[in-house]
Structure 1
Amino acid sequence: MLSLMLASFLPLLLLCRISLCQYSSDQCSWKGSGLTHEGHTRDVEQVYLRCSQGSLEWLYPTGAIIVNLRPNTLSPAAARLSVCIKPSKDSTGTNIYLDRNGKLRLLLREQDQAEGKVHCFSIREGALFIEAVPHTDISRRITAFQYELVSDRLRAEAQSPGAPCQPCSDAEMLLAVCTNDFVARGTIKTVGPEEDHASVSVEISHLYRQKTHVFVSGGVRVRSWTGNIKMPLQCGVKSGEGEFLFTGTVRFGEAWMGCAPRYKDFLRLYHEAQLQGTNPCHVETD
């Protein structure tokens, strides 16, 4: 059945590549409507997204679109990138394929998108070919997902984020402070389960760095921030007294915990490394 379906789309792909493609300008996010295809359903629109992260929203999908995800700079390292997409849990109306030189491989069926799980593939595997599934009523069909470009090395982490439930080594701890997406000093307020992970509510007294605004300021007169950090349920984290140094990564706008030593333990380690001249970077401490 799948082979017949793919064969039926080869003329459509060829037609698109010869003369009927519509091209959009380079951008980070794209929003379009299948209603523009009503009069020429054989057109396949080419969409080019050239940022490290962004989103796509296709309302009332009809026909098909080809989404080309590329970095905004040309580099030999680009061939070692992976693309990760996270469908909205309300995403519906299409099947998503990988298109490499006209050969299609099914990536996500329409019903799979509602799971909202992250799916990654090498950038060398091709573009996304998003095909509308025929429905009598398309008024409530919207295909939507977020995407990120990550190194092949971080591909597994992007699909299953969250650090393993074991303490970081001293070297890992010091490096995390220099390289992670967020670094913050604060306390744990509450811990609550959310589906397959735990959500740790934190109050931040010193925000060293954050890649995106995962922690929200308490206001101009209040030097504190609040936010939530996710981590695997099996880690069994609990709320408690004392200050921690939270580090970790940001995946699709969500903070995931990495190394999180007690702040006093980090201070001891940092000052020891400072005396030995082995600190990978400078950190402002009390």
Structure 2
Amino acid sequence: MLTPVLAALLPLLLLFRISFCQYSSDQCSWKGSGLTHEGHTRDVEQVYLRCSQGSLEWLYPTGAIIVNLRPNMVSPAAARLSICIKPSSDSRGTNIYLDRNGQLRLLLREDEQAQGKVQCFSIREGALFIEAVPHMDISRRITAFQYELVSELSAPCQPCTDAEMLLAVCTSDFVARGTIKKVEQGEEHSTVEVEISRLYRQKTQVFVSGGVRVRRWTGHTKMPPHCGVRSGDGEFLFMGTIRFGEAWMGCAPRYKDFLRLYHEAQQQGTNPCQVDTD
């Protein structure tokens, strides 16, 4: 039989236990603990995230979670989005799969996550299925990553079609006119140093201004190493996505070729958006 004091404290103790075990989530980020699965290691939790960027942190993972990453929008453009995830350097304790109608495809093994390599996939490929790897000691196991939704462009290194080029001007995270100054080849990516004479748009500040009197911007973009991009003469229209603060090149036609195509589409009334070409 409970004493009057314990009887009075019991509702508070139960509230504390529920609050302690409950997952913390908003529309953009999620944080939870596998300790809520204790004794129910086959439990699978559903997580819904609806922002363009955010994070996930799963402490002491047991069982599995299904992470549904969906933009809070309904439009044809939503189907052309890609999802990029970047694991933290201390992420471990799980294997990460893509789950499309119950068919699993391995995306990241536990031992690969600490490398922090960005992985991207189409939003049409399904949800993330994150499954805990059994360990005797889960106290040091935390799975954590950042995610971003980005616009799909043409396949890396492949020339954009006319339609893709015109659409990229409207949907890219950055659009800029300029020249290639230098290219540094690396094992995982090439770094392209560019000088910008006209900056149309940038989602975040990846290109830096030379000052009020010098109307030039400089910055770096990245490309897969097998693209074989080289420095050279001529102006280009650089377009692409920004992933975790880094610019990745998509379409990069010569500016004169884009200008011809743009004016032709303008005369036909088929341009998806307007660009100031003066």
TM-score range, shorter chain: 0.5 to 0.7
- The equivalences for 1:179-218 within 5 A come to 179-218=171-210
- The equivalences for 1:115-134 within 5 A come to 116=117, 118=119, 120=121, 128-131=129-132, 133-134=134-135
One-letter amino acid of the counterpart of residue 128, structure 1: F
Match of 2:156 in 1: 162
Q: Which runs of 5+ in 2 are unaligned?
A: 1-19
> How far, CA to CA, are the matches of 1:81 and 1:187 in structure 2?
29
Contact 2:61 2:142 in 1 (8 A): no
One-letter amino acid of the counterpart of residue 93, structure 1: G
Contact 2:181 2:193 in 1 (8 A): yes
Contact 1:93 1:132 in 2 (8 A): yes
* 1:69 equivalenced with 2:48 (yes/no): no
Contact 1:188 1:200 in 2 (8 A): yes
Of 28, 38, 43, which aligns to 1:41?
A: 38
Equivalent position SS for 1:195: coil
Contact 2:69 2:127 in 1 (8 A): no
Match of 1:112 in 2: 112
CA RMSD of aligned residues (A): 4.2
> How far, CA to CA, are the matches of 2:124 and 2:261 in structure 1?
40
Of 231, 235, 242, which aligns to 1:243?
A: 235
Residue-by-residue CA offset, 1:207-263 (whole Å, 9 max, x unaligned): 112234433444566543332222233332211233221112344544332322232
> How far, CA to CA, are the matches of 1:76 and 1:56 in structure 2?
26
- The equivalences for 1:197-276 within 5 A come to 197-218=189-210, 223-275=215-267
Counting matched residue pairs gives: 253
**Once the two structures are aligned, what percentage of the paired residues are identical?**
61
Question: Are the structure 2 counterparts of residues 78 and 97 from structure 1 closer, same or farther at C-alpha, using a change threshold of 3 Å?
Answer: farther
One-letter amino acid of the counterpart of residue 53, structure 2: Q
Scaled by the length of structure 1, the TM-score of the pair is 0.66
Question: Are the structure 2 counterparts of residues 78 and 94 from structure 1 closer, same or farther at C-alpha, using a change threshold of 3 Å?
Answer: farther
One-letter amino acid of the counterpart of residue 66, structure 1: I
Q: Which runs of 5+ in 1 are unaligned?
A: 1-19
Q: Look at both structures and tell me which one has the larger radius of gyration over its CA atoms.
A: 2
Match of 1:88 in 2: 87
